[in-house]
């Protein structure tokens, strides 16, 4: 079995694969102050609580956009699993040509998502990841990663609105029935929800035009299931896209 770990700015998502089958997955907070032992005990306790044999883990692969956490996680893998993890970065075979001015600048999660989306749907394909940042990535029909756009995520945008205003409350991000609302909470919900729906459809339309052909649009990330039903441009939601991408890249590097 293979343990795949996706380290994001807000959450760390873990998954266990047996071949191509995702047996289980978990989401924990990304904490830069958490120690090697704290991560090790937490993860092994998750395994124990869900009936996963930690001794059956044969390999570990990690994708991270939070460099300060990596030394801690790498030590955790060695101490609690006796394994040196494969870390997505230079020298790792992704099977994807990256047409970026500086390929080292591309977030590992963006490449992993692109690999998974192209493997699943072919190209051209556009990938939207609703994470701490909302990222838009494009892959052409030959499987070349072309680049994309990066926007403030829904969560941090909403939090900024609350922090920088005196009277606006924290809200749940949800769809409202209309945009001309008669109370503050619904007004904020409408603005956030439909504002991001418009952002998604607008950016995808421009990317489709630049690609010159109709691309499949795949969404992932925590809030994808909320935005996707209203966004006309999104074709499919794949909640486990990043974990699938890590599995695929692991197979290519065995």
Enclosing H/E stretch for 167: none
109 is in an annotated binding site: yes
Nearest to residue 19, comparing CAs of 213, 244, 208? 244
| Cα separation of the two ends of the chain | 13
100 is in an annotated binding site: yes
108 is in an annotated binding site: yes
Contact 211, 117 (CB under 8 A): no
Does the annotation mark 18 as catalytic? no
184 is in an annotated binding site: yes
How far apart are alpha carbons 231 and 209 in whole angstroms? 17
87 is in an annotated binding site: no
DSSP result, 108-160: HHHHHHHHHHHHHH-SSEEEEEESSEEEEEEE-TT-EEEEEEEEE-HHHHHHH
212 is in an annotated binding site: no
Q: Which residues of 41-77 are buried (b: 16+ CB within 10 A; e: fewer)?
A: ebbeebbeeeebebeebebbbbbbbeeebeebbbebb
Residue 175 has a CB neighbour count (10 Å cut-off) of: 13
How far apart are alpha carbons 157 and 184 in whole angstroms? 17
Tokens of 236: 């499919």
Q: Where are the beta strands (DSSP E) in 173-225?
A: 216-221
Q: Which of 109, 177, 201, 235 is catalytic?
A: 109
191 is in an annotated binding site: no
10 is in an annotated binding site: yes
110 is in an annotated binding site: yes
**Pairing, β 97-98 against β 11-18:** unpaired
115 is in an annotated binding site: no
Binding residues: 6-13, 100, 107-110, 129, 132, 184
Binding residues for K(+): 129
Binding residues for ATP: 6-13, 132
Binding residues for substrate: 100, 107-110, 184
The set of catalytic residues is 109
């Amino acid at each position: 079995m293979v343990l795949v770990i996706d380290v994001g700015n807000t959450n760390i998502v873990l998954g266990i694969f047996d071949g191509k089958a995702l047996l289980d997955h978990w989401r924990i907070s990304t904490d830069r102050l958490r120690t090697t032992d704290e991560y090790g005990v937490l993860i092994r306790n998750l395994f124990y609580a869900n009936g996963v044999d930690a001794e059956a883990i044969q390999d570990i692969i990690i994708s991270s956009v939070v460099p300060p956490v990596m030394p801690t996680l790498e030590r955790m893998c060695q101490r609690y699993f006796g394994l040196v993890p494969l870390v997505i970065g230079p020298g790792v075979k992704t099977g994807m040509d990256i047409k970026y001015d500086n390929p080292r600048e591309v977030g590992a999660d963006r490449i992993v998502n692109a690999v998974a989306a192209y493997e699943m749907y072919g190209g051209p394909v556009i990938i939207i990841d609703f994470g701490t940042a909302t990222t838009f990535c494009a892959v052409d029909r030959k499987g070349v990663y072309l680049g994309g756009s990066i926007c403030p995520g829904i969560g941090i945008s909403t939090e900024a609105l609350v922090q920088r205003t005196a009277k606006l409350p924290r809200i749940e991000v949800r769809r409202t029935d209309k945009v001309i609302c008669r109370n503050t909470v619904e007004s904020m919900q409408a603005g956030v929800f439909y504002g991001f729906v418009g952002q998604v459809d607008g950016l995808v339309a421009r990317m489709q035009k630049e690609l010159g052909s109709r691309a499949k649009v795949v969404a992932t990330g925590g809030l994808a299931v909320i935005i996707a039903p209203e966004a006309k441009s999104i074709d499919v939601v794949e909640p486990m896209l990043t974990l699938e991408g890590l599995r695929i890249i692991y197979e290519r590097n065995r």
